[in-house]
Amino acid sequence: MSFDRVLRWALVAIAIAGLTAGSLARAAGRPDLADVAWALGTVPVIAGLAVSIVQDLLRGRVGVDAIALLSMSAALALGQPLAGAVVALMYSGGNVLEEIAIARAEHDLRSLVDRAPRQVHRKSSERIEDVPIEEVAAGDELLVQAGEIVPVDGVVASAFAAIDESAVTGEPIPVEKTRGSAVLSGSLNAGETFQLTVTAAASESTYAGIVRMVTAAQTARAPFVRLADRYALIFLPVTLVISYVAWLISGDVTRSLAVLVAATPCPLILAAPVAFIAGVAQAARRGILVKGGKALEALARAHTVLFDKTGTLTVGGARLLSVEVAPGKDPHEVLTLGASLEQASHHVLAKAVVAAALAEGLKLKPPEHVKETMGAGRSGQIDGRHVMAGSREMLLARAELSSWELRAIRRASWRSALIVFVAVDGRPIGALLLADELRADTPRAIRLLRDAGIARMVMVTGDRAAAAQAIGAALDLDAVLADRVPSDKVEAVRSEQRLHPTVMVGDGINDAPALAVADTGVALGARGASASSEAADVVILTDRLDRVGEAIVIAQRARRIALQSIFVGMGLSLAAMAAASLGWLDPVPAAIVQEVIDVAVILNALRALNPPLARSGPRLTAEQGLSLHHDHQALLRDLGRLRQIVDALDDAGAEAAAALIGEADRLVQGSVVMHEREDEDSVYPKLTEVLRDRHGLAAMSRAHREILHLARLLARIAEDLPSEKIDRYLIRDAQRVIEAIETLVRMHTAQEEDIYEAVAA
């Protein structure tokens, strides 16, 4: 415990003892001893306050605590020791109350630091030894026992681990990790003991960076808080003037003393720091690390938000969009052969192809004699066949391209996708279209920012203009700046700053300069981009963009509460001073009123520690929301197959087309229709109980009806196939219906995810 803290508690104890002893002496009929006891309880507080004021003066600061010094000294000089003792208790108690309030507000931040591990269990020569965390190096093997904090960043070396990442990312549900999965330090082992292969030393791990940022958050002061300090200086001469006028008009020096006693600058001194620290702590609970009150206040004033694209608005990695096939070829065969060959590559596109094949449940085969052409592709033997996967230049050297190859290239261009052709024995059989995709939570994040009052949103990216414009149009952004290098991003931030307070949101190393120059830099730090996290003022510890909107809402609320506490508190203080100057409050009651105002201001400022009062009523539980999400994931896999069927119908003959249309009908009836009916019968009634606006749900039900109508049309086409002539017109009609179903259900599912997120507990 620090000396200052011991002194504060000692002065409170002395003030309480003096006031209590004096009251007992007065009750015993010894007013002389009572006056002595009250004076003895006041003098140490005066002395401590005088030392504090001198120290402030030596640092070049003038504090309004001088009012308390004047009131206590004047009370003793004017023979009002009881008033002096009450003010002494109120002043010393106010300091302790401020300390308790700030400690309460900092609790969530401090808990992150306090839980940092000190020892680890390291495997060495087939035995386990406990060593200090500082001795751990990359490549070491550690054991993390059940219930322990993961000490450093690493990857799971066991078959399975259950990790609770709530303290680091704010996500409440434990995550299942398999062998090779990355684990963030600071997470909790929620399952059995597992083995961890260290990838970063303790000083370079995620949790160490969080601790450093927490320390900065606890010491930084907001400009708003310093501004409150300057306003408090105005309060000192105003108080002295009111006190002098009260004495001048009444001729009673006791009234002047009552004004001094009633004067409380606590709304100015305490409200701002307590509210902002509480806001920082509330943000930490949501997996948002704000580096102090300065960053929080800047966030509250934000007008413009600039976003990086890749990894911020989008998932930041290649995803398989579709499989284009040559006439008569099977999409699963194309994907299986392509993914089997890509197993031999460590390229990010290869990993995406392999992941897509495994997600489809395809069984991959080991490639042999693999050869790679840098930047073009690779070839190898699979089941005795020569398979090639790579760029158009590698596979399609001939001048004349077939119609399906031209179609694949055209579709890749439309969707700003990369294309990987797959060939067997020199003949192309299909193409894989891969591209970055929008984050699932990005539309909700944009809506939250609009709701929070952000007037302008701009994407600034190094990506091509076509890809950037497509994303910008989908999100209805105000501007899109493409083909920007890091220095261009910095200039874009500065251009916006000249007009309005600006926030920059990014995740990569190339975003660090722009994050540093913005009024507020927000880094998506869940993926461990340390450069951007260090440069940013705010770090989102969970991989969710919608936390940016939440951070702004929390900051705005903290600032609003600070202003409310200041204006209401100072209004009450001035009213108490006016009452004292009119003789309505004597010194002792004035001191009590002063303390009531102080307590009210602090309690109001602490409201920033909690989220806004939620509307009472039922909510969807996290488990219910997760179940609904899993249902949608299964549905999206079926929608992917519908997309493949639409593409395959382009070149299908009559017999093949009939089979594809029949398959599409079975998928729609067995998956889509059942899902929508289940939503209408059981999910939507639950949502009706928790949604504030029922009209939006009615619109969603209309979408259900349209989906079911299209499903009936497809069923009618499928039923008529045996008796109909299957010509290109019938195939085109079927294509249109299937494509409409796939598009509408995909959009409708995204809207439902948005609603589920909004009403989850």
What's the sign of the alpha-carbon dihedral 301, 304, 308, 309? positive
- Label the pairing between strands 194-198 and 154-156: antiparallel
Which residue is listed with tokens 């709304």?
A: 267
Non-local (6+) Cβ contacts of 571 within 8 A are: none
Identify the three-state secondary structure at position 363. Answer: coil
What gap in Å lies between CA 274 and CA 262, rounded to an integer? 22
- 308 noted as active-site residue: yes
What gap in Å lies between CA 285 and CA 41, rounded to an integer? 42
Which listed residue (308, 511, 546, 647) is catalytic?
Answer: 308
DSSP sequence for 478-528: SEEE-S--HHHHHHHHHHHHTTS-EEEEE-SGGGHHHHHHSSEEEEE-TT-
Q: Give the single-character DSSP code of 381.
A: E
Q: Give the single-character DSSP code of 314.
A: B
28 backbone dihedrals φ, ψ, rounded to 5°: -85, 0
DSSP sequence for 214-274: HHHHHH---HHHHHHHHHHHHHHHHHHHHHHHHHHHH--HHHHHHHHHH---HHHHTHHHH
| Nearest partner of 285 among 106, 506, 446, judged by Cα | 106
Give yes or no for a contact between 489 and 535, defined as CB atoms under 8 angstroms apart.
Answer: no
- Would you give the distance in Å from CA 42 to the centre of its chain? 49
On the CB side of 562, CA atoms within 13 Å amount to 28
What gap in Å lies between CA 331 and CA 422, rounded to an integer? 11
Instruction: Tell me the two tokens of residue 690.
Output: 């928790």
Catalytic (active-site) positions: 308
